[in-house]
Amino acid sequence: MFHVGQDSNRCVTSMVGYGQGVWIALQSSAQVRLYHATTYESLTEVDVAPAVHKMLAGSDAIIRQHKAACLRITALLACKDLLWIGTSAGVVLTLTIPAISTSTSTSSLRIPLVPMGSAHGHTGHVRFLTSIELPEDFELAFPVTRDQGNSPQDHETPPALQRSETTKRRASTILQAKSNMLVISGGDGYEDFRLTNSSETVGRDDSTNHLLLWRTLFCAYMAVYHKAQVKYFILYTLIGAGIFPENWEEEKQERESGELHINK
């Protein structure tokens, strides 16, 4: 047993282990702390606030100030040498996990740890982060909304995640799973942080539960998964997003008990 931080009134809200390191987030804190798994030494502390503020730069001033004032870490996930960080601002961050050996100490950990924000996140809190390993040659099929008016001008820029509407045409797209590991973020609403507050999409579906699905590769393509009755669905390419049901906690229990059903 060892103490984490100086404030005894703050409990540990998130904790993940990866190799010889343990990442911990405390209640109402925007810092993630790295401890050695065997020596319990505090190796480093990373403040996610600067990265989150950068992602919120194009948001409405009032919303930006509100999210900054109550910023905290809400979810952690360690997957494929990356630490995924969910925040109360809806921003999803990734941080390269440093190599930690049995002899690693604070003085030997000299690599600066800088979290990077994703342009795609949630309007409200990131409720959870999880991962799933798919069978080989598994295919993901998503109904994709095609909206030529929102297509990016620069072909190097990944297309924005389109919000699905029942009146719009949809085309089914098959996405080959080049990586067996997928990551899921679940939270309130969907937000493209590249858009300014003048966008027509601001405020739409803010209170609707959404899943963002990520492939553990470079973020290059996205599609929409928008279906009312989603089974507890999958999750570094952002490959899709969708609405998950109000009883997602029950679906999570099914998943953990091995009774998960994936709708293809």
pLDDT in tens, 174-189: 444 455 778 899 998 8
Q: Closest Cα partner for 31 from 72, 68, 67? A: 72
Q: Residue 98 carries which DSSP code?
A: P
pLDDT at 104 over 80: yes
Tokens describing residue 210:
């959404």
Sole residue written with tokens 């050695």: 36
Encoded amino acid at 232, one letter: Y
- Gyration radius (Cα) of the chain, Å: 19
- CATH assignment of 12-115, among 2.40.30.270, 2.40.10.480, 2.60.40.2580, 2.160.20.10: 2.40.10.480
Q: Which tens digit of pLDDT belongs to each residue from 63-101?
A: 889 999 999 999 999 998 899 999 999 999 999 999 999
Locate the domains of the chain by residue range. Answer: 12-115, 131-256
Q: What is the pTM of this model?
A: 0.69
Whether residue 225 contacts residue 213, with contact meaning beta carbons closer than 8 Å, is answered with: yes
Phi and psi, residue 76, nearest 5°: -135, 145
Q: Closest Cα partner for 203 from 194, 222, 212, 190? A: 190
